[in-house]
Amino acid sequence: MKNGFSLYPGLDNTLLENLTLLEHAAACGLTRIFTSLQIPETDTTALKAELGTLLAAARDHHMEVISDVSPATLKMLDIRDFSLSAFRMLGITTLRLDYGFGLQEIVDLSHNHQGIRIQLNASTVTGDILSALMGMKANFHQIDALHNFYPRSGTGLSEELLVRKNLMLHKLGVRVGAFVPTQSGRRRSPLGDGLPTLEEHRTLPVDRAARQLVALGCDTVFLSDSRPSEDELHALGQLRDDCITISAKCLTQDPWQQALLSQVFTSREDEARDAIRAQESRPHLKKSGQTIAPANTVDRPLGAITLDNSGYGRYMGELQILRTSLPADPRTNVIAQVDADELHLIKYITPGRKFSFRLHG
């Protein structure tokens, strides 16, 4: 999963702070940089002085650089005419087209031979726009999309809209990204209220917000603010692609069962009413030759992670996450419990989706 962070030369950070951020992000496995070359509050003198150094450092770490561009960008960088060569020479590898670009321009740019990718605004794209681009033979192999972030409190997207846009873009094979704000670092000026894509993420920890974006179908996640903490960079670097990861308390001392809980599972296509069923757990048990003895056969609340024991015969080894509360069953062990503040993630584990657990004691 190619996740990223944001750099805003000429805004909040010094050049040294931005270079340090880039080094820390690279060490955490982040491979993409988002920058905007059209922020009105930017000190354009500082931007021009620092941009080349930052882009050279990005090249040294083989990072993809994505830039918001609009007609204002040309003026900010003293570029006379819009030219892919000019951006390529700077070291910008993806252009996120903001206002000011017509459909024919987008189509033409998508067929460029300079290795520059084109990025749509995922938050404002419509079905009509995508249909028009298809009819005009846009090269979707060279197009992806990135949602907006929203500096003003109360203006971030709803979950429903984000999912709708993601589904629309995914039907065309377009990968989609979104942003999460810092909670423990420096928030970007001028408002300092965070830069989330989803409004509900304005106050959520980066780790939880990012994992929810993956659950909602985002293919990449960016930290949006000026100077996130190292812990937040690390959390994003550990994010798993197309896998819903849920924090849970481990309730078993059995080493084999603990090892089982560290695996990545797939939700069965024949969705059960009461539980998410892992399709790999019983074959995994059969291959291991283990026997599951009855233990902790207690009541099963919403979010209980259970494992059928030997009392269930050929169902022994079935791992489930409970969608609803069920009474105790002597044939079923409760081996972990999803954290209360992560129960909402269960609904995203739809048939065929991968899921895993982040265990704690």
The 3-state DSSP class for residue 50 equals helix
Report pLDDT digits (tens) over 270-279. 999 999 999 9
pLDDT band of residue 209 (cuts 50, 70, 90) is very high
Residue 129: Cβ within 10 Å count? 15
The 10s digit of each residue's pLDDT in 135-149 is 999 999 999 999 999
What is d(CA 265, CA 255) in angstroms, rounded to the nearest whole number?
18
Q: For residue 292, what pLDDT is reported? A: 97
| Tens-place pLDDT, residues 13-50 | 999 999 999 999 999 999 999 998 888 888 989 999 99
- Of 281, 286, 171, 206, give the one whose Cα is nearest residue 25: 206
Cis bond before residue 181 (omega within 30° of 0): no
